Each structure stands twice: as C-alpha cells, then as structure tokens.
C-alpha cells in the first residue's frame, strides 16, 4: 500500500473516523499470555517509544488507535494517574504502540514521530484530548493541520511528516503482527508482562494486574528520558476539546484495518 503526499493530504475525503470505530462484541483474548520476547520484538523493525525505567519489573504495552474513543478515554482519564503511580516510580516500563485502523490514525502517529522523541507523547496526548474536534470533522485534514500548527508544525513540516512511507509500512507490519500473532481483537489492548487485558481499564484494574508483579523489596529508580531530536516542532499544548464519548455497549473499538483505503500511486 502506498501512502504518498498527494494521497495523505486528501484526508478531507475520508469518512468520519468516529463512525468507523463501532463496538467490539467479544473480548476473547482477555487473559491470554503472549511470550514477552515476542511482544518486545515489534514487526517491521518498528522502534518503540518507551516511557519509564529500563529496569522496571513490569512492562505494559498498549496498542492504541487515535480515532478510538475508548483509547481517548484511557489517555485522558486514566493514563496521567497511571504514569504518576507506576511509570514515574520506576515500577512500569510503558510502551504505547500504534494500531493503525484508518488513514487518520496513520496521520496522527506520523506527526508524533516527526515531532521527535521529546515531543512524541505530548503530540499523541494532544490529539487524544482533541479527538472530538478533528476525528468527527467534515474536513479532518484541515482540523488535524490546525492542531499540528499549535504544536509547532508548519505547513511544510506537516506535509513532510505525512510522506513517511517507511514509517507507514512499519506501522502496517505492527498492526498485522498484533492481529495475526497476538490475537488482538480491539483497541485498547494491554499486555502486562505478557498477559492480555482487553478493553479500556481503570487504574484499579491495572493495579490489580501489576501490583502482584512488583517485588515487595522494590526500590524505585529514575525513569529513562527521551533525548530531544534536533530541528523538531516545539511541544506546546492546545486547549483540549470535550472528552470523546465512547459508543454505548462496549469498551473496545474493533480492529478494522480494512477501513484504510489504499493510496493511489504517486504522480
């Protein structure tokens, strides 16, 4: 699948992302155990953005989709407290890994990548906070660009970010690996030292899975920090929109990679 400048800038023609989310009807993967070494080897040579100490006793991997309302609920309401209680204390190494279900997901992750390691998580956080603004817009390309400019992007750096074919290919490989090898059925999905937790989780639910894995004599260490990349957009924060409302009846958005239309060859 090609993902070229001409086609990525046609985001205005994409269907409303929220209409693609739906509700998962089965969480069959809940409790499944995946080998940690397999989970820590993302397909396509994709490079994770890790938060927390490399020596943390617990590794939590979240597969997230920027257009998923349940992922937004977790990012906005649970993640800040989770980072404070578990990542900043050195108990958990956290990896938020892309699960690209449509072209808007791809655009957000491409912008985060282009922003550089120091700004990556702030870009994701900002787009989750403003999900109801851009994901339901009739002109999503323009809405995404407006937010990107507030994060320090220019028209030129925005256009350049959306032409990263190599990153797009790697994210596709990560998505396919999650579906085919790990049995992912929807987003968000978490893997806690290999144990699958499906659907959005509260801090208490995550604590129930994590706390027994932390040694009683654990001593907190200093979390690892990303090294700023040169010449990347500044990390500012935009005013968040109202939190995205999750569809009634479920706690996951189904994995629907076929919602992403193939891009046409470059002209």
**Is the pLDDT assigned to residue 75 strictly greater than 90?**
yes
36 within some domain: yes
| Number of C-beta neighbours around residue 265 at 10 A | 9
262 within some domain: no
Average pLDDT score, the chain: 81
113 within some domain: yes
Residue 242 carries which DSSP code?
A: S
Partners of 59 in beta bridges: 93
79 within some domain: yes
Whether 76 contacts 110, CB under 8 Å: no
Q: Among residues of the chain, what percentage have pLDDT more than 70?
A: 72
Q: Which residue has the tokens 């309401």?
A: 77
Segments in the chain forming alpha helices (H): 5-8, 36-39, 69-73, 79-82, 103-115, 120-129, 131-134, 140-150, 155-161, 165-180, 203-210
What total of structural domains would you count in the chain?
1
**Which residue did the predictor score with more confidence, 60 or 265?**
60
Q: Give the confidence band of 177 by pLDDT, cuts at 50, 70, 90.
A: very high
- For residue 207, give its domain range: 29-211
- pLDDT at residue 219, rounded to an integer: 87
Rounded average pLDDT over 121-142: 96
230 within some domain: no
Q: Is the dihedral of CA 12, 138, 158, 3 positive or negative?
A: negative
CA 219 to chain centroid, in Å, comes to 29
142 within some domain: yes
2 within some domain: no
Please name which of 54, 82, 49 lies closest in space to residue 227, comparing C-alpha atoms: 49
- Give this prediction's pTM: 0.80
Reading phi first (left if > 0) and then psi (alpha if -120 to 50, else beta), residue 264 is in beta
- pLDDT at residue 30, rounded to an integer: 85
- pLDDT at residue 250, rounded to an integer: 54
Please name which of 142, 123, 143 lies closest in space to residue 133, comparing C-alpha atoms: 143
Nearest-angstrom CA–CA distance, 56 and 62? 16
- CATH number (domain holding residue 44): 3.40.30.10
Element (DSSP H or E) covering residue 254: strand 253-254
Whether 51 contacts 89, CB under 8 Å: no
**Is the pLDDT assigned to residue 260 strictly greater than 50?**
no
Q: Among residues of the chain, what percentage have pLDDT more than 90?
A: 67
Nearest-angstrom CA–CA distance, 67 and 131? 7
CB contact set of 183 (below 8 Å; sequence gap of 6+): 28, 29, 32, 34, 196
231 within some domain: no
| Tens-place pLDDT, residues 1-16 | 333 444 444 343 343 3
| Tens-place pLDDT, residues 20-64 | 443 333 344 688 999 999 999 999 999 999 999 999 999 999 999
């Amino acid at each position: 699948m090609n993902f070229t400048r001409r086609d990525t800038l046609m985001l205005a023609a994409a269907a409303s992302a929220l209409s693609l989310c739906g509700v998962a009807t089965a969480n069959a993967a809940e409790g499944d155990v995946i080998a940690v070494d397999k989970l820590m080897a993302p397909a396509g040579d994709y490079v994770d953005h890790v938060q927390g100490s490399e020596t943390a006793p617990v590794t939590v991997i979240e597969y997230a989709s920027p257009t998923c309302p349940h992922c937004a609920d977790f990012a906005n309401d649970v993640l800040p407290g989770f980072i404070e209680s578990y990542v900043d204390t050195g108990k958990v190494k956290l990896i938020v890994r892309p699960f690209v279900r449509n072209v808007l997901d791809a655009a957000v992750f491409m912008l985060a990548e282009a922003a550089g390691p120091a700004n990556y998580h702030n870009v994701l956080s900002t787009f989750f906070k403003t999900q109801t603004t851009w994901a339901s817009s009739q002109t999503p390309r323009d809405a995404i660009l407006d937010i990107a400019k507030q994060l320090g992007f220019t028209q030129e750096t925005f256009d350049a970010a959306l032409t990263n074919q190599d990153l797009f290919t790697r994210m596709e490989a990560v998505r396919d690996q999650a579906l085919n090898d790990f049995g992912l059925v929807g987003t968000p999905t978490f893997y806690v030292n290999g144990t699958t937790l499906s659907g959005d989780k509260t801090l208490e639910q995550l604590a129930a899975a994590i706390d027994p894995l932390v040694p009683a004599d654990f001593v907190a260490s200093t979390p690892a920090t990303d090294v700023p990349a040169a010449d990347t957009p500044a990390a500012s924060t935009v005013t968040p929109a109202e939190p995205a409302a999750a569809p009634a009846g479920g706690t996951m958005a189904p994995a629907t990679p076929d919602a992403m239309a193939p891009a046409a060859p470059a002209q």
